[in-house]
Chain A
Amino acid sequence: MKIIVAIKQVPDRDAPIRIAAAGKWIEESGLQFSMNEPDAYALEEALRLKEAHGGEVIVLSAGPERVGTTLREALAKGADRAIHVTADDLGERDALGVARLLSEAIKPESPDLILTGLQSEDLGLGQTGVILAELLNLPHASLILHVEKTDAGLKVKRELESGWFQEIELPTPAVLTIQSGGNKLRYATLMGIKRAKTKETRVLNAAELAPVAPPTAVLEKIALPTKQRSTQILPGTPKEAAAALVEKLRFEVRVL
């Protein structure tokens, strides 16, 4: 099975976020970046499928030069080769624009399966994977926790609300967006990093793949969340405090 995993590099969760002067995006200088977590789960799923059924895992990412470190990390974890769509203007492309770039990079590969994270940890739009399927004219399913290969195609487990799951079957090729937590992530190894040096990374220029079209959605303004301290300490003996807590949960929060 030939699998392409589309990965985004996002600011480190621990990174101290500042808003850039223009107020439309964060200040990227001095930030550390790492692999978008749902994408890491997509990669893990792809590697497990390859280990079980053979084939090839190709990782694909669009972004400036720094994206190379995330691609190398993916190669170190076991991907066979990488495609880097170099673009310094991702901020000017919306989800549709990015999906266009990815789809152009994917088409010549004609893979059996395309995996990507459910959403990104920075913008959280959750659209890129789904638009990608539309552009490639492929069936898709989102919020996937588990993928199983069958004779006819795939059987996948979707996460629904309130602890419900749904199992669906679909033919290949297909696009799946992967939910975090379905598997345990493997760790990068020293051997993997050394081996990754000899693996191929193909560089494609974004401008040549798909010209920048006027975005359909534009980011107007971003803001840091305001801090609100709403912790309440319930006084009294444990018994009194527990009674007060139940009272609040029942009548104020209405969850009991």
Chain B
Amino acid sequence: MILPHATLAEPPHFSVLERVVFAALVIASAVSFWQRFGPIVRKILQSKKDPGFRLAPIGRRVWDFFSEVLLQSKVIAQRPLPGLAHAFVFWSFLGFALVTLNHCAVGLGIGFLNPESQGLSGLFSRLYFYLAAVFALLCAVSITGLFVRRFFVRPVWLGKKVSIESGYIAFLIFALMATYLAAFFTTDASPAARILWWIHTLALVVFLPLIPHTKHLHLVLSPATIFLSREKFSDIPPLANDEDFGLVAGQDLTQIVSLQAYSCVECGRCTEHCPAASTGKALNPKDVILGLRSYLNEIGPATEEPLLGKHNSQEAIFQCTTCGACEFQCPVGIEHLPIIVGLRRGAVNTGAWEDERGAKLFNQLERGSNALGMSSAERDKFIQKESLPIFDGTQEYCLWLGCMGAYDPKGREIVAAFARIMQHLGTSYGVMSKEKCTGDPVRRLGNDLVFQQLAEANLEILAQNKVKKIVTVCPHCVRTIQEDWKAYGTPPEVEHHTEFLARHITQLPAVKTKESIVYHDPCYLGRYRDVYDEPRQLVQITGKLVEAERNRERSFCCGAGGGLAFLGEESGERVSHARAQELTATGAKTIATACPFCNSMFRDAVGEPNGLSAAPKVLDIAQLIDSHLGEPTLRLYTRKSDEDHRSH
């Protein structure tokens, strides 16, 4: 079939002069691209090799690439409208790869997609050009929408300064799509078709060298960044050798860190979700990454110039609660936590960080057993008072108390409540006669010396007592035992009490009061451990679950993580107050927590004078369930389905 309009974008016959001009433009464009891109690649390659990096298991990497790059899952899920617009632009680029290749080939007189040819190849070409036209239309609309958003709507997290360059890029993309579409309405070899072809070409050759300029680098780098990302959330790499103290100077930047620094697309999702940035602190996770990029541009890797100074401030780095919202949100695979914790390691392991409360915490944990600085005799007294059995190797579970559970009065109430539930369930458990802090606060603050001492001491005590399974009320303990201790031995199995309780939910009282309860996802249970449903199931058997505005993966930190519970929060609004207000705004009578640190922060925040008139109660999920012990269990209500379940 011969199409009524003879051509789709490509005037097929070019003069020699045109071919020479075209070839020259393409070469100039490519050279100009490499002049900017080459040094960046060299800086990444000059960076230190990543200690402990393995490509295997490759399956996860392929999946991440497929889901986050090709499907744009994270881009869309976390910001649906602009995310979808971005995805259309991206998918159009993919679709256009063949069109653009053909476009260049036509310019040299060797075009391979010819809609006018007969048979299969002609059919394929026609179909492909029409498909590309659909993409072009979606892309043109999307990029216009994104342009309007950036230049007129102007969300705060995109930064105060409008990026003019984004305007150029948007215009070029729009021009590429418009010329492609307009060509459908021209006839073959007409002057109009020729002009459109040349505009399309010019847009292409100008676009290419703009890519390695700042944030548009993500077009080339972020697929690699996502593919090469570390295996786990907040995956803190081991120290390479005796001279490795973390991220101290340029020579400590690893290839992955440098790659990530150059991949940032400056979308500000990290900033939007950062508890420090949202409450007026100096820290802005986007600026941390861009600071590293500026450092690499101005000073470079493999140098001894300190990383904390001109481009990143120590003050900001130590304001991080390690809630991980930034790392979770980042659509281009930047892992902020290993970088921020890495910079803290650099400052603490060399003694450059001087902080009165920080030093006190370190000294306490170096000499004593707990982060609260109390005598371990206080823990013994608590165990005696609650008649908690001592673990002797015969029980199934070791109930790990943690510093909050053993020393904090309210944390003790949570432990006592959970112990009563275990008793009620007939689960055998015991507590360690001796237990040290898991090292969570020092790990997050970057003190490898004290962390190693604590991890090793605890691993030894647990091995001596032949502990196989640990359950604890503190998500920080869970994470630190399971992941961070691995650097120094093989930790026992560990789970959070809400996971344990959810497994026994049919044996728990199901009272279903009308009382509305808002559940707050602790960072270390949610983003760090992907446990979202179990606590909700448990809340639902005691009352009516309501959700805060930000929940699950988007939950907002209580302010205590990253060792910050033990430092001072000196500037800005308090993170705990911001979150407590959000939780209280749901109208819930109770705030259900699953972490003794969150619990402590919110009790303080809702109890503030001049605060809210009818302050909600703050209770751990274990306390909610404990208050109904003895009442009918879920099993009575669901006996039939339960038995069905058992017969399978």
Bound: A184/B357 CA distance, A: 10
Docked-complex contact B367 and A189, CB < 8 angstroms = no
Answer whether A191 and B351 are a contact pair too, CB < 8 Å, given A12-B367, A186-B359. yes
Docked-complex contact B359 and A190, CB < 8 angstroms = no
Docked-complex contact A188 and B366, CB < 8 angstroms = yes
Bound: A189/B363 CA distance, A: 11
Q: How far is the CB of B644 from chain A (nearest CB, A)?
A: 54
Report, as a range, how many residues of chain A touch the other chain.
10 to 19
Docked-complex contact A13 and B362, CB < 8 angstroms = no
Question: Is B375's CB within 8 Å of the partner chain A?
Answer: yes
Docked-complex contact A185 and B375, CB < 8 angstroms = no
Docked-complex contact A190 and B368, CB < 8 angstroms = no
Q: Classify the interface of chain B: helix, strand, loop or mixed.
A: helix
Bound: A186/B350 CA distance, A: 12
Question: Is A34's CB within 8 Å of the partner chain B?
Answer: yes
With both beta carbons as reference points, the residue of chain B lying nearest to A34 in the complex is identified as: B367
**Neighbour of A184 across the interface among B350, B356, B376, CB < 8 A:** B356
Bound: A193/B351 CA distance, A: 11
**Neighbour of B350 across the interface among A12, A13, A189, CB < 8 A:** A189
Docked-complex contact A13 and B351, CB < 8 angstroms = no
Docked-complex contact B363 and A190, CB < 8 angstroms = no
Docked-complex contact A190 and B448, CB < 8 angstroms = yes
Docked-complex contact B359 and A191, CB < 8 angstroms = no
Interface string of A177-193 (1 = CB under 8 A from B): 00000001111111111
Answer whether A189 and B356 are a contact pair too, CB < 8 Å, given A12-B367, A14-B369. no
Q: How far is the CB of B511 from chain A (nearest CB, A)?
A: 34
Question: Is A194's CB within 8 Å of the partner chain B?
Answer: yes
With both beta carbons as reference points, the residue of chain A lying nearest to B350 in the complex is identified as: A191
Report, as a range, how many residues of chain B touch the other chain.
20 to 34
Bound: A150/B2 CA distance, A: 101
With both beta carbons as reference points, the residue of chain B lying nearest to A193 in the complex is identified as: B449
With both beta carbons as reference points, the residue of chain A lying nearest to B348 in the complex is identified as: A189
With both beta carbons as reference points, the residue of chain A lying nearest to B375 in the complex is identified as: A14
Docked-complex contact A13 and B368, CB < 8 angstroms = yes
With both beta carbons as reference points, the residue of chain A lying nearest to B368 in the complex is identified as: A14
Question: Is B397's CB within 8 Å of the partner chain A?
Answer: no
Contacts of B354 in A (CB 8 A): 186
**Neighbour of A13 across the interface among B367, B447, B449, B450, CB < 8 A:** B367
Docked-complex contact B375 and A187, CB < 8 angstroms = no
Q: How far is the CB of B307 from chain A (nearest CB, A)?
A: 15
* Max count, chain B CB within 10 A of own CB: residue among A13, A14, A187: A187
Docked-complex contact B367 and A187, CB < 8 angstroms = no
**Neighbour of B242 across the interface among A14, A185, A186, A194, CB < 8 A:** A194
Docked-complex contact B359 and A14, CB < 8 angstroms = no
Contacts of B242 in A (CB 8 A): 194
Answer whether A189 and B449 are a contact pair too, CB < 8 Å, given A14-B376, A194-B242. yes
Docked-complex contact B376 and A186, CB < 8 angstroms = no
Q: How far is the CB of B437 from chain A (nearest CB, A)?
A: 12
Docked-complex contact A13 and B375, CB < 8 angstroms = yes
Question: Is B349's CB within 8 Å of the partner chain A?
Answer: yes
Q: How far is the CB of A58 from chain B (nearest CB, A)?
A: 20
Docked-complex contact A189 and B349, CB < 8 angstroms = yes
Docked-complex contact A187 and B349, CB < 8 angstroms = no
Docked-complex contact B350 and A187, CB < 8 angstroms = no
Interface string of A1-39 (1 = CB under 8 A from B): 000000000001110000000000000000000100000
Docked-complex contact B245 and A187, CB < 8 angstroms = no
Docked-complex contact B245 and A191, CB < 8 angstroms = yes
Docked-complex contact B367 and A190, CB < 8 angstroms = no
With both beta carbons as reference points, the residue of chain A lying nearest to B369 in the complex is identified as: A14
Bound: A192/B351 CA distance, A: 8
Contacts of A194 in B (CB 8 A): 242-243
Q: How far is the CB of A71 from chain B (nearest CB, A)?
A: 16
Bound: A192/B349 CA distance, A: 8
Docked-complex contact B245 and A190, CB < 8 angstroms = yes
Known: A12-B367, A188-B449, A191-B245. 12 other contacts (CB 8 A): A13-B367, A14-B376, A184-B360, A186-B354, A187-B348, A187-B358, A187-B363, A188-B362, A189-B349, A190-B349, A190-B447, A190-B448
Q: What are 17 inter-chain pairs, A to B, with CB distance below 8 A?
A: A14-B367, A14-B376, A14-B377, A184-B356, A185-B363, A187-B363, A188-B366, A189-B447, A189-B449, A190-B245, A190-B349, A190-B447, A190-B448, A191-B351, A193-B449, A194-B242, A194-B243
Binding site for A on B (CB under 8 A): 239, 242-243, 245, 348-351, 354, 356, 358-360, 362-363, 366-369, 375-377, 447-450
